[in-house]
Structure 1
């Protein structure tokens, strides 16, 4: 079926085509011409008198992210009418005050300042608050005109040399708005965790109908502008407004600092580098990717270092929690080789082991392994997107595997595992999203030999909503467990995974809800597993 594109994308594509700008670098250089977006800080708008803002501009809540020992990033967006393309504000910049304190009443203030919400950045704010004390909880809020935002709670990391005793974090992924309610986020907002890792598919590019899909709204009707696939910057911005309007997601962001990374649906299903799902011309797809990346940065608690340059963004980065844990957050979409055989499931072949193919790109791969060599942490945690461990999907002699996961990039996975071994990584934990189920894997040196050495542990966070309600034992449950002896747990319900690290062990609690197509379901712990420091291998807790 022919793919139809927005007129502005086609016009920009023709601009690229005339000049043979078919590379990522060239697309980045020409993006400002195509979309009229200035560089950050170059805005020339006049100032809006905040006293004239008639409605609450903090409709999309507050968020914080990427905690360091002395700083944390604060985020909000001004949008009194979030479902309008302009958010209900004119093309003028707005002065916003922010403050941070040691208590919720703000009786013990520690930092305050002023930020400018530019219309070119859709009136979003990214405040990098420096000079904070390490390993401390803080509260923050924003004010403009007569309006005060809700209060957010965040924290800083311990100093990098501190022998932190413990850390509890959660991992979430895959929150298709149209597939159900964000009940898991509501429970997560009430859980006692230090930080949340969002592993991708924060939003989906797919259309959302007037009743919100499986949410089946009867008390409201969503605007028709959501009922189309996101393609342009306006589309992606509006989609974030829809997702962030959810009260449960807002509650989770307000309760905990988030560390975010993307997968495919923040841009387009199963894309790989500059190759789209439908093999669109690169000059067309890179414009779409640029729009998606920009909207992602605008709407997430990310620092300026992650601000995209056209269709490129340096999202992979490293955080530390004293000497207890090092987190190497990966981007497995932007630099990967195209999927072989098929984008999803296939029996595979020799191209899976082609050494020229990569999941991470050479620069990110070197950065990861070099970081392991320099690591002083007890636990080395790798938050990333797609299933890392081998996953046979049937019991045949040449089993079907996912070509979109690391099984389709086996040489790349081999280099990562060999790099971990050469760096002396003893306690490797891989955190994964994407597959809408909860898994617990032993990471084997040779996945086809159950007796081979266990090199680490992989915990897969199920979806928040994607896939609708799910089931405790999906139809493939028995087959997958038989085909993959290193798979120790498999649950198909929605929820999140909570991991507690200390000096002796890591414990993962798989938290699940019974349903997401109706709001308010209770949460339970489906299973808990531990792996001992210095002795990889999962055991029931």
Structure 2
């Protein structure tokens, strides 16, 4: 979510070093070549410190010599396929030290997958090395599992055994699955409050959780933990600065994952993760930073942020960054019930128009050359829709897709960071969905720290135009502190946007149950996050019918 504004030349567009040939924007050959060179330099800087393929020559630390529990950051699983799921942990007996307390030694880690929580029926086991080059993280892509099944997993090194996690695989390809329960979360600024939302979500009957971005924030966290108000000096000074280096980002993930509620929700459910801006820097766009750093300098920071993100999430090797680039957009299926097209709306986008301030749409923001996704991702998305046989086509992504007017003027201001600032790009996506015949289209969104429910209209300025799908925005886990049920601009937003069916400013998540005939969305909220223990309630519920888009109160 935008917290500050930038001052940029209105005619300058950002170009990605790795997608320059595929970009829609007009060519700036000299700059493109320059950025390609600097991207290569950044990639070199961040690959010379990686383990060689198959390397095992370095000494492996004797696990018995680790004096304290190395599983302080918990366990996680993610990206379930019909026969596979990714298991994750990161060893850090001293999580608030830059090396996690393990120095430069490689550590041998055992893993197990079982049918039961007591591990009486172990179905797979193996070993992996925790490399210091990857922050002693472990990613195990366990294959050969049964479709549509629940499993338990754990890690072991020496005498130390990790917490037990529970995960599940997706149904078999082509399976006529009748139900899927998912939840969407986003925006968990540690300094803004406790993760009470995650504590409740850990107890939900959920098949998979989608984290839609801002898993961490780059801003300084003081010794009191911000709104958490710990005793003075509880947190070390290393967190009281903005994240810039690989060590900074690794340490910030350690801080976040030190939270017991975040560890609990990861252990309870498989996650599908995607970043937004704060995992790197507020409101960056491709290679353009918030504070107008030289691109080659910002790309080094982006490389550090992307690498730390992969190290700390249950992601496959296909998502592992190469320097400042990472292929995070990807596709998952849940039988024939749902197809998930997970987008990356930050890495490839054109620079925000009009200095990234709320603005009336104009020639700069409506330039048809502008893109939110980059040309390659846009084609991938639309081609995937054309091939889809799923009942529901779900698009998890980061920023508001539907039109969101900020005032009641004839020419209303809108966000330049959301799809309203990239209307030509949005129009291409909408046209692609229509051409592909996507009848049951659902967009899942984070970023804005409020809960929204939108009908996606063929023409947002004509309430009578055809409804094409629904958009559910999941509010935040902690960002924005406690929030209020009805923000001060509630009346204006509801009048200015007739397709907006729900607006709530409290913290929480959205829970969605997909069936073959209907989908139900429950907006779950808590009253406070600045003090722990608030109860969870359902603020509103909606249904939408397959073949008849549009939200109705449940």
TM tier relative to shorter chain: over 0.9
Equivalent-residue separation in structure 1 for 2:534 and 2:334 (angstroms): 33
Q: Post-superposition shift, 1:398? A: 1.4
Is residue 22–residue 282 contact of structure 1 (8 Å, CA) maintained in 2?
no
What SS does the corresponding residue of 1:481 show, helix, strand or coil? Answer: helix
Aligned match for 2:481, one of 454, 464, 468: 468
Q: Post-superposition shift, 1:237? A: 0.4
Is residue 51–residue 131 contact of structure 2 (8 Å, CA) maintained in 1?
no
Q: Post-superposition shift, 1:344? A: 3.8
Q: Post-superposition shift, 1:25? A: 6.1
Return the TM-score normalized by structure 1: 0.95
Aligned match for 1:233, one of 201, 226, 246: 246
Name the residue aligned to 1:38. Answer: 50
Q: Post-superposition shift, 1:29? A: 4.6
What SS does the corresponding residue of 1:170 show, helix, strand or coil? Answer: strand
Is residue 21–residue 283 contact of structure 1 (8 Å, CA) maintained in 2?
no
Equivalent-residue separation in structure 2 for 1:218 and 1:440 (angstroms): 39
Unaligned residue ranges in structure 2 (runs of 5+) = 7-31
Is residue 512–residue 525 contact of structure 1 (8 Å, CA) maintained in 2?
yes
Equivalent-residue separation in structure 1 for 2:182 and 2:77 (angstroms): 15
Unaligned residue ranges in structure 1 (runs of 5+) = 4-19
Equivalent-residue separation in structure 1 for 2:513 and 2:46 (angstroms): 47
Q: After superposition, give the CA deviation of every residue in 1:176-202 in whole Å (9 maximum; x if it has no partner).
A: 000000000000000000000000000
Equivalent-residue separation in structure 2 for 1:245 and 1:231 (angstroms): 20
Is residue 21–residue 27 contact of structure 1 (8 Å, CA) maintained in 2?
no
Cα distance change on mapping 1:28 and 1:237 into 2, 3 Å:
farther
Is residue 28–residue 312 contact of structure 1 (8 Å, CA) maintained in 2?
no
Equivalent-residue separation in structure 2 for 1:21 and 1:210 (angstroms): 44
Equivalent-residue separation in structure 1 for 2:53 and 2:75 (angstroms): 22
Q: After superposition, give the CA deviation of every residue in 1:66-116 in whole Å (9 maximum; x if it has no partner).
A: 000000000000000000000000201000000000110001110000010
Aligned match for 1:343, one of 352, 356, 363: 356
Aligned match for 2:171, one of 154, 158, 166: 158
Name the residue aligned to 1:263. Answer: 276
Aligned match for 2:286, one of 273, 280, 284: 273
Is residue 45–residue 91 contact of structure 1 (8 Å, CA) maintained in 2?
no
Is residue 495–residue 511 contact of structure 1 (8 Å, CA) maintained in 2?
yes
Q: After superposition, give the CA deviation of every residue in 1:476-498 in whole Å (9 maximum; x if it has no partner).
A: 10000000000000000000000
Name the residue aligned to 1:94. Answer: 107
Equivalent-residue separation in structure 2 for 1:68 and 1:363 (angstroms): 24
What SS does the corresponding residue of 1:478 show, helix, strand or coil? Answer: helix
Equivalent-residue separation in structure 2 for 1:165 and 1:351 (angstroms): 46
Equivalent-residue separation in structure 2 for 1:356 and 1:40 (angstroms): 41
| Structural RMSD (CA) | 1.6
Is residue 188–residue 476 contact of structure 2 (8 Å, CA) maintained in 1?
yes
Runs of 4+ in 1 over 6 A off after TM superposition: none
Equivalent-residue separation in structure 1 for 2:94 and 2:310 (angstroms): 20
Aligned match for 1:364, one of 377, 389, 403: 377
Equivalent-residue separation in structure 1 for 2:37 and 2:500 (angstroms): 41
Equivalent-residue separation in structure 2 for 1:35 and 1:139 (angstroms): 34
Name the residue aligned to 1:539. Answer: 552
Aligned match for 1:487, one of 500, 515, 524: 500
Q: Post-superposition shift, 1:33? A: 3.5
Is residue 198–residue 261 contact of structure 1 (8 Å, CA) maintained in 2?
yes
Equivalent-residue separation in structure 1 for 2:130 and 2:40 (angstroms): 24
Equivalent-residue separation in structure 2 for 1:85 and 1:347 (angstroms): 46
Return the TM-score normalized by structure 2: 0.93
Q: Post-superposition shift, 1:219? A: 7.9
Name the residue aligned to 1:325. Answer: 338
Q: How does 1:74-153 map to 2 (within 5 A)?
A: 74-153=87-166
Q: After superposition, give the CA deviation of every residue in 1:280-304 in whole Å (9 maximum; x if it has no partner).
A: 0001000000000000000000000
What SS does the corresponding residue of 1:351 show, helix, strand or coil? Answer: coil
Q: Post-superposition shift, 1:45? A: 2.9
Q: Post-superposition shift, 1:346? A: 1.6
Task: Confirm or deny that 1:217 pairs with 2:221.
Answer: no
Name the residue aligned to 2:73. Answer: 60
Equivalent-residue separation in structure 1 for 2:487 and 2:356 (angstroms): 22
Equivalent-residue separation in structure 1 for 2:164 and 2:208 (angstroms): 17
Equivalent-residue separation in structure 2 for 1:123 and 1:281 (angstroms): 31
Aligned match for 2:184, one of 160, 163, 171: 171
Q: After superposition, give the CA deviation of every residue in 1:414-443 in whole Å (9 maximum; x if it has no partner).
A: 000000000010000000000000000000
Is residue 46–residue 323 contact of structure 2 (8 Å, CA) maintained in 1?
no
Which stretch has the larger CA shift, 58-67 or 45-54?
Answer: 45-54
Q: How does 1:448-459 map to 2 (within 5 A)?
A: 448-459=461-472
Name the residue aligned to 2:20. Answer: none
Name the residue aligned to 2:442. Answer: 429
What SS does the corresponding residue of 1:295 show, helix, strand or coil? Answer: helix
Equivalent-residue separation in structure 1 for 2:300 and 2:147 (angstroms): 40
Equivalent-residue separation in structure 2 for 1:139 and 1:30 (angstroms): 39
Is residue 224–residue 232 contact of structure 2 (8 Å, CA) maintained in 1?
no
What SS does the corresponding residue of 1:346 show, helix, strand or coil? Answer: coil
Which stretch has the larger CA shift, 100-109 or 39-48?
Answer: 39-48
Is residue 63–residue 75 contact of structure 1 (8 Å, CA) maintained in 2?
yes
Cα distance change on mapping 1:339 and 1:113 into 2, 3 Å:
same
Is residue 324–residue 378 contact of structure 1 (8 Å, CA) maintained in 2?
yes
Equivalent-residue separation in structure 1 for 2:223 and 2:232 (angstroms): 11
Is residue 472–residue 492 contact of structure 1 (8 Å, CA) maintained in 2?
yes
Q: Post-superposition shift, 1:354? A: 1.2
Equivalent-residue separation in structure 1 for 2:174 and 2:61 (angstroms): 46
Name the residue aligned to 2:513. Answer: 500
